[in-house]
Amino acid sequence: MRPEGPDTIGGAAGVAGLAVVRNGRIVDPASGRDEQDDLWMRDGRIIDRPADDEAKGAAVIDAAGLLVLPGLVDLHAYLCEPGFEYRETLESGALAAAAGGVTAVACMPDTDPVIDDAPTVESVRERAAGAAAKIHPIAAVTAGRRGERLTEAGELAEAGAVALSDAGRSIRNPAILRRALEYSRMFDLPILVHCEDPALSAGGHMHEGSHATRLGLKGMPSIAEETVAARDLMLAEWTGGRIHITHASTAVTVDLIRSAKQRGVRVTADASPHHLVLTDESLSTYDTHLKTNPPLRSKADVEALRAGLADGTIDAVASDHTPRSVDEKNTEFQEALPGATGLETMLAVVYTELVRPGLLTLGDAVKALSSSPAGILGVEGGGLASGGPADLFLFDPDGTWTVDPASFRSKSANSPFTGRTLEGCVAMTIVDGRVSYRRGAPESP
């Protein structure tokens, strides 16, 4: 890749901010486009090819040998600000996102204070302005994520919240979730639910099964997720509200979602890369970086998630990016906090483990990582059609790299894929026509 011109390719460069990505293969599932062609931008938007005399003055990025893909949209990430900046900040999270080809991130409300009112939503948006990736706040369903009193969905939507969620807590009171689903219909806000019955999973550290028994660790049974998923889907069906099951992890959950969709329930779902690739057998070394919630499940569950993603039951892939400090992971397995980083590895893991072996087409993978999550959240992006935002990245399908958290843009290093060689490299990420990541640069401009 030989980029020419300044990093601000969509601003001061060229004639009236005109820029072009040349010689790349454009793959845009949202418009059905898969062809070798040029992609034109002006002032942060994608445009049709200009007249020849004007085109001569454009700034040029040479994408020979690269794929030109719509920027990824991650609908589930913990960016930890405000309150837990030692793990991640909006700035570092956005830098990590850009390094992974992610141009927009929906950040969860598990912060201190909780993102549960309009001023906090507005504050997050203001602090994130100009970051290396766009950041869309998700607000809490209930005040303080305590599951007792609904937040003001209308005010939150007006302030810029793109969805509601109590993050890593399920809403234990079904009456509260029912009212939330009914109320959120007025604003067409999806409710992202974490499906877990804490009474069933209490004290667990990994998936309940033969491997947990062998390792001497208390397990978290799959039924803890599935009973809550079944209840939440029934409430969504009853109310007509929009529900999104995030980080689905079991075969039964996939079947429940598939059945609900067939009945016309307004449900969408995502799976995380580590749940699509790793199993509970991976925990044989007691590596705390593999401790997540939901936990890594069985091989049969992984196969069901992959099949659900391939047939559209699972709509999207989300990073479930959960940064933890060294002290929070460098301890006994039972004491370590669950969670794994994922923004910088999400695409490469999917490409290496699902696309390369032929389990998922490139187009379906890009759709699950871009246009589908953008549609769920109702945000711009996820496509390369003329008139849309110039949010895209250049991808080298033949490049390989070894996951080394020391090189991460994220402040945390708790990757479950450390040391793994992955295929496919992000060469450049462009957000609103500006280069926010360039491979090989020490940091984003």
Q: Active site residue: 117, 270, 320, 364, which one? A: 320
**How far apart are the C-alpha atoms of 373 and 429, rounded to whole Å?**
18
**Alpha-carbon distances of 412 from 71, 77, 95, 139, 440, rounded to whole Å:** 23, 13, 12, 23, 20
- Helix, strand, coil distribution of the chain in percent, nearest 5: 35, 25, 45
**How far apart are the C-alpha atoms of 104 and 160, rounded to whole Å?**
14
**How far apart are the C-alpha atoms of 40 and 42, rounded to whole Å?**
7
Sequence length of the chain is 445
Tokens representing 222 are 């799959």
Q: Is 140 left (phi over 0), alpha (psi -120 to 50) or beta?
A: beta
State the virtual CA torsion across 304, 69, 62, 54 in degrees, nearest 10: 170
Amino acid at 181: L
**How far apart are the C-alpha atoms of 418 and 404, rounded to whole Å?**
6
**Alpha-carbon distances of 358 from 100, 151, 363, rounded to whole Å:** 22, 44, 12
**Alpha-carbon distances of 441 from 100, 129, 428, 445, rounded to whole Å:** 14, 22, 10, 8
Is residue 320 flagged as an active site residue?
Answer: yes
**How far apart are the C-alpha atoms of 235 and 26, rounded to whole Å?**
41
Start-to-end CA distance of the chain, whole Å, equals 18
Supply the residues annotated as catalytic.
Answer: 320
